[in-house]
């Protein structure tokens, strides 16, 4: 199935399944884990490490534990598969549970995962694809939804230190390019010669 040609589902568990699978396809196709990524100072391996590392801590802040998996340093594909499967199991088995986080507030667990994590995987899919020379087509509908949701809270996002300065893109640029520019990526970025 060509995941890039479909609009992502609205249900959090189904959306995560598709976003994680698309990211997993890029993981499987990665041959150089030291390849520079569009995030300054990051490699392809760092993209995986970021996703596998920050989210268990976020969940633990709300009393939810993810089982530890293989080391990203030793085996990035195995680390990603384990992590993605564990998150999917949470969504499938416990998604309707309440989740209260000291910084993120109160949500249904599935909604917290969707809002804070699946969206992050979606955006970092572009980073991994660019770093490794693989084609990525992000869903423009979901990209537009994310962009609309982030614009009103831009000051809070920038003050968190998790987002770079915006990169200017033309007003008539595709919505995916607008999202990338908003989160601090240059849509025209290509890896430096090595």
Local confidence pLDDT in tens for the 194 residues of the chain: 344 445 888 999 999 999 999 999 999 999 999 999 999 999 999 999 999 999 999 999 999 999 999 999 999 999 999 999 999 999 999 999 999 998 888 999 999 999 999 999 999 999 999 999 999 999 999 999 999 998 888 888 877 777 888 999 999 999 999 999 999 999 999 988 87
Task: Quote the tokens at residue 133.
Answer: 């020379």
Asked if residue 12 lies in contact with residue 95, where contact means CB atoms within 8 angstroms, the answer is: yes
Q: How far apart are CA 95 and CA 111, in angstroms?
A: 8
| 3-class DSSP string for 147-189 | HHHHHHHHHHHHHCCCCCCCCCCCCCCCHHHHHHHHCCCCCCC
Instruction: Report the pLDDT value the prediction gives residue 153, as an integer from 0 to 100.
Output: 84
Instruction: Report the pLDDT value the prediction gives residue 96, as an integer from 0 to 100.
Output: 96
| Residue ranges per structural domain of the chain | 3-138, 140-187
Q: How far apart are CA 141 and CA 143, in angstroms?
A: 5
Conformation bin of residue 94: beta by default, left when phi > 0, alpha when psi is -120 to 50: alpha
Helix/strand/coil for 121:
helix
Tokens 């809070």 correspond to 156
Q: Which CATH class is domain 3-138?
A: mainly alpha
Is-above-0.85 flag for pTM? yes
| 3-class DSSP string for 72-95 | CCCCHHHHHHHHHHHHHHHHHHHC
Q: How far apart are CA 47 and CA 124, in angstroms?
A: 7
Instruction: Report the pLDDT value the prediction gives residue 66, as an integer from 0 to 100.
Output: 96
């Amino acid at each position: 199935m060509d995941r890039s040609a479909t609009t992502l589902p609205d249900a959090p568990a189904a959306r995560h399944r598709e976003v994680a699978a698309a990211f997993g396809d890029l993981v499987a196709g990665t041959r150089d884990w030291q390849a520079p990524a569009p995030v300054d100072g990051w490699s392809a391996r760092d993209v995986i490490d970021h996703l596998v590392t920050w989210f268990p801590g976020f969940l633990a802040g709300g009393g939810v534990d993810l089982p530890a998996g293989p080391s990203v340093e030793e085996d990035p594909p195995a680390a990603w598969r384990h992590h993605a499967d564990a998150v999917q199991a949470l969504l499938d088995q416990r998604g309707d549970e309440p989740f209260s986080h000291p910084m993120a507030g109160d949500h249904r667990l599935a909604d917290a995962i969707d809002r804070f994590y699946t969206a992050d995987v979606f955006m970092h899919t572009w980073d991994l694809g660019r770093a490794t020379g693989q084609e990525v087509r992000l869903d423009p509908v979901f990209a537009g939804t994310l962009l609309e949701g982030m614009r009103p809270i831009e000051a809070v996002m920038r003050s968190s230190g998790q987002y770079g300065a915006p990169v200017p893109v033309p007003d008539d640029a595709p919505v995916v390019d607008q999202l990338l520019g908003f989160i601090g990526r240059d849509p025209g970025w290509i890896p430096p010669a090595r």
